[in-house]
Amino acid sequence: MNAQPETPTGQTGAQEAGTHAFNGEALSHLLSALIAAARRDPSVRDALRQAAQWLLEVSQEPVQSAAPAAELTTRIPPPAPAEPQVQMPLRIGDAQIVIPVRDDGSRSSAAVVAAAGPSGPRAVAVAPPSAPDLALVKRRVALKAECCRWAIERRRRRAEQADFETSIKPRDHELVATAKSLPNCYVWPLDPYVSLPSDEVLERAAQCYENLQWAADFALAVRGADPESDMLAPAYLRLAEAQSAVRSLMLQLELREDADQYDAFQWLKRHTELDQIYVERYMKRNDPADPARAGALADAIEQTRAAWEARRQSEAAKARLFNRARYHARRLVDRDAVADRGDWQRLYEAVIELVDSGLPPSNAELRELLLPIVDRLPEDLGDDARFHLVLRELDRYLASRERERPPTAPEPQDENVQRVRELLRGTTVVLIGGERRDDTAERLRRTFELDELRWISTREHQSTAEFEPAIARPEVALVLLAIRWASHSFEDVADMCARYEKAFVRLPGGYGARQIAHQALQQASGVLAAGRSRMAVRGQ
């Protein structure tokens, strides 16, 4: 197991390790040692001068295509900012290597190589390394899981003395060919120089690789659908545990570092920093994941993904309901359109379904959709509690908005308003329902020349007995019940008004003076006139 056999991709272990980015800390030590040696030994100075001259010549040669920048990455510090504030120059002859340094003194993962030329210093290789390809990691670990399970099956067939040429060799060649088609894919279960563990451990390894595949797929799916999603944190945590479990397994098996685990870790480190997400577990060497938890981790990944997909389906359903509600609301706003009872009913049903789906009754988008038409809401549309909650939140919003703006002038007069004003002048009107709106109350008081408009705000399951003292007062001429904001239990108010000989009017719409006047004349003109006569007899 200490030997470095050739892998299925044709690379040796040393070659595979050579594909990893060089450690920036090691480069710093190397350069420091070279500078110290150059100061002591003229031959070293001469060799470095020649190397610097070669760098200068290469940097001045025209190139047909941009060469890939050398990447100098560190394992622990996060990637460098685009414009480091401090630079640490190391000069070798006419060449200079600049290592960006952060404010905290740690070295950046980007390096700038500058060489002096006729027109001044030239800089190359300034870009920080990009994150590994997590989609490629998914493909490679899926193959590794398949190879682990084939190793179990292969062992069984060999024990049964199956024919190697027909029962084993074709599958070996197929898996090796697939591994060779993927860059940097070392499938150790097929390495003849590796002493394979027990079937139980091989199965656990397959589960660890599959967990890394599923966790990577989940993280990519969430980030691709919504980079601002609050599901990124649990997705990244699952990926952190999956890659850490693979690393722990490699250590237990005394195998070399797994390239896919390393790439997954680097991808995760890069994106947690970009997305400003803190992963509290499995990102440090002293906090390893346990490969024995592979089954539990698989369940956790599946449950987390199921919750995310259920939420996405719910959001898609909400979008469809909003589109339906918006369509019917627009038909009702457009007075030229054929807006019949069916539009109101379908809008009513869509609002109820939206609340059922988890939409808050105070949702601003729903509120803006209903605001233009709420005053025309049919009285007998329905009394579903969910729709009533939306209306109450809408009423609270209107009341709060009215408090924030200056008082408005009395409304323009019409014949109905003038007639009702003559019947109500100098009296008290009681308005029951919804949230008190001071500006509206004062406007109505002045429009109808009332002595007082007493507005009683209501709440859920309120007893009508609380209204009786206000209704029984002798100066009260009219009781208005805003039925849109009132419970059906408030219908007892009508009996109270009859008992005290007060005019009673149900307000199906808003609080406009014209609408109140129209409803008052339609529903209680006779009672209002009789009440006015009684007050005249009493000298009020």
pLDDT for the residue 215? 96
Query: How open is the CA angle 5-162-155, to the nearest 5 degrees?
Result: 45
CA of residue 470 relative to chain centroid, distance: 51
Helix (H) or strand (E) holding 117: strand 112-117
Average pLDDT, the chain: 78
Range picked from 44-58, 360-374, 524-538 for highest mean pLDDT: 360-374
For 135, 216, 232, 243, the CA distances from 221, given in Å and listed in that order, are 11, 9, 10, 17
Cα distance between the two ends of the chain: 110
Residue 505: closest CA among 486, 354, 144, 193: 486
Q: Measured between alpha carbons, how far is residue 112 from residues 26, 83, 128, 375 in Å?
A: 16, 12, 10, 68
* Predicted pLDDT of residue 400: 75
Least confident of 25-39, 51-65, 358-372: 51-65
Give pLDDT, residue 405: 58
**Stronger pLDDT, 121 or 191, i.e. the higher one:** 191
pLDDT in tens, 189-227: 999 999 999 999 999 999 999 999 999 999 999 999 888
* Lowest-confidence pick of 286-290, 391-395, 422-426: 391-395
pLDDT for res 71: 33
pLDDT bucket at 382, cuts 50 / 70 / 90: confident
The amino acid at 39 = R
pLDDT, one tens digit per residue, over 130-147 is 678 999 999 999 999 999
What is the per-residue pLDDT for 303?
A: 94
**How does pLDDT run across 510-526, given as a tens digit for each residue?**
778 888 888 899 888 88
Has residue 104 got a pLDDT over 90? no
Q: Which phi and psi angles does 342 have, rounded to 5°? A: -60, -40
Decide if pLDDT at 495 tops 70. Answer: yes
- Residues whose CB falls within 8 Å of the CB of residue 215, separated by 6 or more in sequence, listed in order: 235, 238, 239, 241, 242, 243, 301
pLDDT band of 539, cuts 50, 70, 90: low
pLDDT > 60? residue 93: no
Most confident of 21-35, 168-182, 447-461: 168-182
Q: What is the pTM for the complete model shown?
A: 0.52
d(CA 14, CA 59): 29
Residue ranges in 425-512 assigned as alpha helix (H): 438-447, 468-472, 492-499
Specify the higher pLDDT residue, 529 or 287.
287
pLDDT in tens, 7-31: 343 343 433 434 444 455 666 667 7
> Which residue type is seen at 523?
Q
Q: Is the pLDDT of residue 318 over 90?
A: no
